Chain A
């Protein structure tokens, strides 16, 4: 990965003001890079600050210290160059799937013809071509997340940010969605930052795992799954059987365990 950085997180801390003079430090001194076209996974126990970091990248929270840089500019508020997919469903229920996917392009003034073609392309990419004209309320949870992903990608962001995007899905659907994301990353060359607390998901998706410790969240370790030999494999069964998979899983489990103990 000789690519440059799409996103740089430089010594970022975040304190939340709880009122009455109290505050909590969610994350402290976070530094890492998100290389162009790579999938970076933020992994760590619940409450370690993964969402906080992702939200600061999106511009939805402001760092208390440090800065986040995209394309040479310091992040200052949300913008279309950093699209975000949430764990909760965010489909606009009053719009058809197609209109949902066109939404970002429409508000950004993309001409209608191009909009339609782009939407068509990304609806197909996430496998929803049969459902393009139905309302999201008629779709299953997994399909709704596909809508959200297609909508974000169709808006052509520099970076796709996802906060436990498959956390609400059943195991089988989650698996399919993970494979879909590897395919999407391969086909669109989109840089992705994915938050999860699921070890398997992290190993399967990541070109690089940033492991966070808790209270306050700090980068504990950056891990590149060497056993994948720099390749992306879109079949989870294959990945799980590769040499080195279980070693990495064991290592991550150990890290998680340590964090868990730290809480007691």
Chain B
């Protein structure tokens, strides 16, 4: 006789899902997705030219990297994202922290920053092209504009949420304003800044692709636009997959950075 255990439901209402079930579920949805794709391609349900089979897309991806120097396009795209993103962070993080710490600084910059947030960054593409020509500058500028104003606002909001008691504790320990900002407010808000950066990096990828599709001869987006001219749907889909995988990798990287840099946030 086995001990009677209450049976565990697969669809338990608001019951946490075990590790195994979560893994299987995640695998399952992707297997279904690719299954449908493979089947549709094999059964001739879709136009072969417009929707190549997944195995062909993967073969093309492989070929792009090993036969046709796609890696250099990928590297160019990555360095554009990271370069522009680093510049945006270098401005947005200090400025956001200062705006969140000093209402007087917020009063100066907030009206400016929030106005810019309502301007979609791609609307600057024509003028950026006129100002900067076709080099790296307009792409970096687009990414910079697309990211910085949101990042400033996010960092400022997180900074404002640092608890007043922490600030007042530091003041009554004899800290001056500068010390409070550097030694209390900044370390307190840093984990949230990293989270905000993680969100905004995803946005930077979006603008990168826009910039490369509209005005570039190098990078992943440009490769996809070239492929379109030659009706190479498999290469376009390869580009999409690579962009997706890169986005995922950077997201995981940021998650790992967060875990590594802030061990004190781990649940015991």
Contact = CB atoms under 8 A, between A and B. Distances in A.
A138 B179 CA distance: 26
Nearest to A157: B172
Interface in B156-207: 163, 165-166, 168-175, 179, 183-184, 187-188, 190
Contact of B173 (A80, A88, A135, A161): A80
A46 interface: no
B75 to A, nearest CB: 35
A202 B5 CA distance: 53
Contact of A78 (B168, B187, B263, B265): B168
Given A79-B174, A107-B173, A152-B173, A90 B188 contact: no
A92 B172 contact: no
A83 interface: yes
Nearest to A104: B173
Nearest to A82: B172
Contacts of B168: 58, 60, 78, 84, 86
Contacts of A59: 171-172
Contacts, number: 70
A90 B166 contact: yes
Contacts of A161: 172
B66 interface: no
A212 to B, nearest CB: 22
A173 B251 CA distance: 43
A135 B173 CA distance: 20
Most B Cβ at <10 Å: residue of A58, A93, A161: A93
A25 interface: no
Interface residues of B, number: 22
Given A92-B187, A94-B262, A135-B264, A80 B172 contact: yes
A155 interface: yes
A137 interface: yes
Nearest to A88: B165
Nearest to B187: A94
A60 B168 CA distance: 7
A47 B80 CA distance: 57
Contacts of B32: none
A58 B172 contact: yes
Contacts of B170: 103, 107
Given A86-B165, A86-B168, A135-B264, A92 B184 contact: yes
B166 A83 contact: no
Given A135-B264, A137-B264, A84 B169 contact: yes
A148 interface: yes
Most A Cβ at <10 Å: residue of B168, B173, B188, B190: B173
Interface of B: 163, 165-166, 168-175, 179, 183-184, 187-188, 190, 262-265, 268
Given A78-B172, A79-B174, A94-B188, 11 more contacts: A60-B172, A78-B168, A78-B171, A83-B172, A83-B173, A93-B188, A93-B264, A107-B170, A107-B179, A137-B265, A151-B173
